[in-house]
Structure 1
Amino acid sequence: MESHGPVDARARELARILWDHLVLADPLSKADVILALGCHDTRVAVHAARLWHEGRAPLLVVSGGRGKITSGWTETEARVFARVAREHGVPERALVLEETAANTGENITATRRLLDARGVEVRSGILVAKPYMTRRSLATARCQWAGVEWTVAAPEIGFDAYGDDERRFIELMVGDLQRMVVYADRGFQVPMPVPAAAWAAYEELVRLGYDRHVIR
């Protein structure tokens, strides 16, 4: 991964506060579909395959075209995720590829259109995302595909072990924390209040220059 410079102890401390708010781990039960949200982290696809093998849902949708981190990939996120899922034993009959989404909202809406067109009824679903994307993914799905009982899951990776490009990882979390507020205001997500401590950590990280993915 590309490096964007060193991260000091204060930035790491603030980032952990963001992580602690953004990461959700729902108790899971059986669902109609598992929806793996495409991204640069293929561990999401590995975890989605694991959930399929556990019998959590009969269908695994991998959704993603190219996003802000994967714009230079030669394949869509969905194709990469599908290949990983196949390598981990998910059969072709259980896989659905959605290859157009460029953001989390489109992961939800494009998958909804695709499954509607195929006549697949979805009453419950499991979102699989990067750990720090779980809360925002759930807020997005509850808004963009209301009426479905959504739960959310992620690879079981802690803050200290998450990324080898620590600065980019923090910058992405800063952007996601801001979107918890901005996108709820714009009607893209259901509101999920951000604790004062998490917002203060976000603001300090922005002042420290971790603002690459902040909406201007």
Structure 2
Amino acid sequence: MPPPVQHPASDAYIYELAQKLWDYHHMHQPLRKADAILVLCSHDTRVAERAAQLFLEEWAPLLIFSGGLGVITRSMWSEPEADLFARIAIGRGVPTDRILIENQSTNTGENILFTKRLLAEKKLDPQTFIVVQKPYMERRSYATFRKVWPEKQLIVTSPQDPFAVYLSQYTNPELSPDDVISIMVGDLQRIRLYPEKGFQIPQAIPDDVWAAYEELVQAGYNRHLVVG
């Protein structure tokens, strides 16, 4: 694990800044029925639980898990994220014949692209998706999907937890609250940078959100920034 973050500000102030990023990352899109639920897997198994809940509530008839081993999980697990997430969903009562698994992707763009290829191989053509992701990855997932697969319709959702609850209860035990804040900071930087690289559609970032980002970077929450 990296050494603890050292910062001059109080924890309360750091959390206030992080809350601003958390709120921005949320899309707050209302659920509606769809053709498929697409789960962008990661280190956060609560996302699998949320996806299983949505399937069992009949928001969509097909559940797709996408994820191999990414930058964070390759040091935690040997099993692909999608396989682990699918087992969690099956344990919650989702029938195996309603699940598809894509377990080779290593980033958000590949999640979408490899899922697109998998569905084509299966001769399936869902038009509407509910994309399920970590709470602080909603906006970047939306922007990536819209870039990679613009002809499809989507809404994005995540585990429905307030920031303080998420930090204290639902993060991977190998990641501290400071780690999660650093990841959120890195995701905001990617929202700013990735449209120019062709990875995402542009998303406006309010000045106060970017100011909070800059303060967090200065405070040492910079371990997941894109370099160069």
Short-chain TM bin: over 0.9
Q: What does residue 78 of structure 1 align with?
A: 82
Query: Does the residue aligned with 2:201 lie in a helix, a strand or coil?
Result: coil
Q: What does residue 40 of structure 2 align with?
A: 37
Deviation at residue 163 of structure 1 after TM alignment? 2.3
Supply the distance in 2 between the matched residues of 1:160 and 1:50 (Cα, whole angstroms): 22
Deviation at residue 10 of structure 1 after TM alignment? 2.2
Deviation at residue 94 of structure 1 after TM alignment? 0.5
Supply the distance in 1 between the matched residues of 2:3 and 2:82 (Cα, whole angstroms): 27
Q: What does residue 203 of structure 1 align with?
A: 214
1:14 to 12, 17, 24: 17
Q: What does residue 157 of structure 2 align with?
A: 153
Are 1:181 and 2:197 an aligned pair? no
The residue identity in structure 2 corresponding to 1:166 is P
Supply the distance in 1 between the matched residues of 2:93 and 2:27 (Cα, whole angstroms): 27
Supply the distance in 1 between the matched residues of 2:129 and 2:177 (Cα, whole angstroms): 31
Supply the distance in 2 between the matched residues of 1:104 and 1:136 (Cα, whole angstroms): 9
Q: For 1:58-73, list aligned pairs within 5 A.
A: 58-72=61-75, 73=77
Q: Please tell me the root mean square deviation across aligned C-alpha atoms, in Å.
A: 1.3
Q: What does residue 173 of structure 2 align with?
A: none
Q: For 1:33-182, list aligned pairs within 5 A.
A: 33-72=36-75, 73-164=77-168, 165-182=176-193
Unaligned runs of 5+ in 2: 169-175
Supply the distance in 1 between the matched residues of 2:3 and 2:37 (Cα, whole angstroms): 34
Unaligned runs of 5+ in 1: none
Q: Aligned in 2, Cα 1:48/1:202: closer, same or farther, shift over 3 Å? A: same
- For residues 35-74 of structure 1, what are the alpha-carbon distances to aligned partners after superposition, in whole Å with 9 as ceiling and x for unaligned? 0111111010000001101111111001100112101211
Deviation at residue 3 of structure 1 after TM alignment? 7.7
Supply the distance in 2 between the matched residues of 1:188 and 1:12 (Cα, whole angstroms): 29
Supply the distance in 2 between the matched residues of 1:163 and 1:26 (Cα, whole angstroms): 22
Supply the distance in 2 between the matched residues of 1:153 and 1:27 (Cα, whole angstroms): 8
- For residues 118-145 of structure 1, what are the alpha-carbon distances to aligned partners after superposition, in whole Å with 9 as ceiling and x for unaligned? 1111211010001110111011101111
Query: Does the residue aligned with 2:167 lie in a helix, a strand or coil?
Result: coil
Q: What does residue 4 of structure 2 align with?
A: 5
8 Å CA contact 1:34, 1:126 repeated in 2: yes
Supply the distance in 2 between the matched residues of 1:24 and 1:101 (Cα, whole angstroms): 24
Q: What does residue 27 of structure 1 align with?
A: 30
Supply the distance in 1 between the matched residues of 2:15 and 2:4 (Cα, whole angstroms): 13
The residue identity in structure 1 corresponding to 2:93 is G
Supply the distance in 2 between the matched residues of 1:95 and 1:22 (Cα, whole angstroms): 28
> Once the two structures are aligned, what percentage of the paired residues are identical?
47
Supply the distance in 2 between the matched residues of 1:33 and 1:97 (Cα, whole angstroms): 13
2:205 to 194, 197, 213: 194
Query: Does the residue aligned with 1:75 lie in a helix, a strand or coil?
Result: coil
